Amino acid sequence: MKTMLDYLLEISAKCRARRFSRFCDVMGLTGSESLLDVGGSSEWLWRGGFFAKPITVLNLQDGMDVPRRIKWIKGDACAMSMFQNGTFDLAFSNSVIEHVGNFERQLQMAGEIRRVAVRYWVQTPYRHFPLETHMVFPFFQYFPLKVRAWLGVRWPFSFEMMRHGDPLRDATQIWLLDIRQMRQLFPEAEIIIERFMGIPKSLIAVYKGPQSVREKENEVSAILHENKDS
């Protein structure tokens, strides 16, 4: 018999599959690109054979059961010093930037993505969607911190609670973003709005790349200057 977690995971998997199809279409992918998955895993998107080159996955956790075609690197999305400027054709990140910390940390992650990849696709849940999708609780994101902490360890239907994880962390340490903030983080990107029943549900910062190598060099210089000043 299916549990509520099973149903939620099925819905999540369908949403991600649709998003991946849109990702390939919007970015005009051929499968020959070098790709960095920032904060991702080897569990769902990259087990297929679409990409000819190995996929690089950067995550704070150790990789488990990692397929041979995936290169797993343990590291911080806000400090990718292991990669040179423009190392990857494309960076991809799905529901990660809201987990890295406050807006200063999010600026650091965004700056690193813009530095190491020529193009990028960065998705995050929309702050003002009525259902907070990590806690699966209406308007949870607007509650005071103490109320979120109290509910977080008692509400039985959050993803972390049903997975026997750390619901208090999700309840108190997720920093959801609005459209204005996403534009601040990714100023050269187009912000795509994903909708559910007509209501904005997720934001995706999409940048298809500069028109020339010189443009990219100028962009990287500007990004490094921003990071130095911040």
User: Which CATH number is 4-134+174-229's, of 3.30.9.10, 3.40.50.1370, 3.50.50.60, 3.40.50.150?
Assistant: 3.40.50.150
Cα separations in angstroms, 1 against 8, 10, 163, 220: 14, 14, 17, 52
Cα Rg of the chain (Å, integer): 18
State the CB neighbour count (10 A cutoff) for residue 12: 14
pLDDT at 212: 43
Residue 151 — φ and ψ, nearest 5°? -70, -35
pLDDT at 213: 46
C-alpha closest to that of 173 among 104, 98, 93: 98
Instruction: Over range 131-160, report the average pLDDT.
Output: 92
- In the predicted model, is pLDDT for residue 24 greater than 90? no
| Token representation of residue 123 | 């998705």
Contact between residue 33 and residue 53 where contact means Cβ atoms under 8 Å apart: yes
DSSP 153-174: TT-TTSHHHHTTS-HHHHHHH-
- Bridge pairing between strands 35-38 and 55-59: parallel
Contact between residue 57 and residue 73 where contact means Cβ atoms under 8 Å apart: yes
- What pLDDT, in 10s, does the model give residues 40-61? 875 656 666 678 788 899 999 8
- What pLDDT, in 10s, does the model give residues 63-93? 777 777 889 999 999 999 999 999 999 999 9
DSSP character at residue 44: S
- What pLDDT, in 10s, does the model give residues 1-14? 666 666 556 766 67
- What pLDDT, in 10s, does the model give residues 173-212? 899 999 999 999 999 999 999 999 999 999 999 999 875 4
- Bridge pairing between strands 117-125 and 199-207: antiparallel
pLDDT at 180: 97
